[in-house]
Structure 1
Amino acid sequence: MSNNTTTETLDLRIRRTYKLLSDSLISLLTEKSFEDIRISDICDKAMIHRTTFYKHFEDKYQLLDFLLRQLIKDFEEKSMQYSDTEDSKKYYTNLFKLLLEHMCENKKMYCVGLLKNGSAMKTLQKIVLECVKAKLKNDEASGIKFIVPIDIIADFYSPALVYSAGEWLEEGMPISIDQMVEYCNTIVGALHISDRRK
């Protein structure tokens, strides 16, 4: 067996182990609080020995951190689907809708980890910030003159979008995603931030 084949097999085993442990933790979170979940619970559900768990993770918090990073990476990849050539209002409302849908689909993970994890929340804000900034730069290159510097606009919008989505989730999603998006659309329209005249 070649070294490449051995490495690939090892990588597949590690990925499989990570997936089993991740799926196990996600499943357990539907049954009990994170604080009440023990390593043995995770291992039993994943049908993995405790020694295997400790080969990859120090504790359940490190596994949770791994899951959060995967969650954020997934959102980042999905956020790239929108073209920065889209109409500005549509771009921002689509980005906000994507964030709400992602939080809704991964509700338990966001509630347990992301909303209580400052560094993870900052990473999510940074992704949204980069999306907003890229859109603003594209608009500026296409001839739109902004009344306020792009960095300040991006710094204003990005935390607002992430914080609003986080509050909506923590409050139990009291209104629909479509209604939240409509509010976002209204706010973006009210805060007219550009002037096409040079």
Structure 2
Amino acid sequence: MSNHEKNEKIDLRIRRTHKLLSNSLMSLLTEKSFEDIRVSDICDQAMVHRTTFYKHFEDKYQLLDCLLRDLIEDFEKESLKTPPHDPKQYYSNLFKLLLEHMCKNKKMYTIGLLNNSSAMKQLQKIVLECIEYRLRNDEKNGIKFIVPIDIIAGFFSPALVYSAGEWLEEDMIISIEEMVKYCDTIVEALQIRYKSV
């Protein structure tokens, strides 16, 4: 077996272990709050030894970070299908994907994440990084923003996550499409504009 094949096999093992642990955490979040979940619970659910867990993650917070980053990365891939010259559409798509995921995984969010400030801060931080990265890309592609990028991202990240969480906790009485329209209206009302150079 060549070194390349060995590395691929190791990489597959690492990805498999990360997936098992992430899936275990997601499952446990449908039963109890993130704060009440112990590393031993995650390992038991995943059928992975604690020493294996600690080879991959420092603690459950790092695993949560990995799980949330993977989720947002999936949203990001979908959102990036919009043209690079349309940041507004990007926000709408990102918000819509977050709402759809929350709807599909309602128990995980309502039981495990929404009432946990550290988990929600982590989600906001990841969304902020995602938005900031996209805006910097847009800037490289010739879009000039009137408001500094870090302020735009800092404003939208908590707003998107908080609004989505409130919507879920209020039993989603407003449709996803209406929520996205409200998001668009707020962006327009705040006159967060951009212009091509």
The reply to whether TM is greater than 0.5 is yes
Contiguous gaps of at least 5 residues in structure 1: none
Equivalent in the alignment of 1:158? 156
Matched, 1:124 2:127: yes
Shift of the alpha carbon at 1:135? 6.2
Corresponding residue of 1:59: 59
Q: In 2 relative to 1, CA 164–129 (structure 1 residues): closer, same or farther, beyond 3 Å?
A: farther
Which residue does the alignment assign to 2:71?
Answer: 71
Supply the distance in 2 between the matched residues of 1:127 and 1:78 (Cα, whole angstroms).
12
Cα drift, residue 11 of structure 1? 0.9
Measured in 1, the distance between the counterparts of 2:103 and 2:16 equals 26
* 8 Å Cα contact 1:24-1:42 kept in structure 2: yes
Q: How many residues align?
A: 189
Residues 193 and 119 of structure 1: is their aligned pair in 2 closer, same or farther, counting only changes over 3 Å? Answer: closer
Contact preservation (8 Å) 2:76, 2:94: no
Unaligned 5+ runs, structure 2:
none
Matched, 1:186 2:196: no
Deviations 1:116-162 (A, max 9, x none): 34354133123234546766897968xxxx9xx24379458624444
Aligned residues of 1:97 and 1:177 also touching (Cα < 8 A): yes
Letter of the 2:92 counterpart: T
Structure 1 CA distance, aligned partners of 2:2 and 2:127? 40
Q: How does 1:87-98 map to 2 (within 5 A)?
A: 92-98=91-97
**Aligned counterparts, 1:1-198, within 5 A:** 1-85=1-85, 92-107=91-106, 108=108, 112=113, 116-117=118-119, 118-131=121-134, 149-151=146-148, 154=152, 158-159=156-157, 160-191=159-190
Contact 1:133 1:154 survives alignment (8 Å): no
**1:132 and 1:158 in contact (8 A); partners too:** no
Cα distance, 1:13 vs structure 2: 0.9
User: CA RMSD of the aligned region, Å?
Assistant: 3.6
Q: CA deviation at 1:49?
A: 1.9
In structure 2, relative to structure 1, the CA distance for the partners of 1:195 and 1:9 (3 Å cut) is: closer
Q: How far 1:14 moved relative to its partner? A: 1.1
Measure the CA separation in 2 of the matches of 1:121 and 1:39: 23
| CA positional deviation for 1:54 | 2.0
Q: Are 1:133 and 1:150, in contact at CA under 8 Å, matched by a contact in 2?
A: no
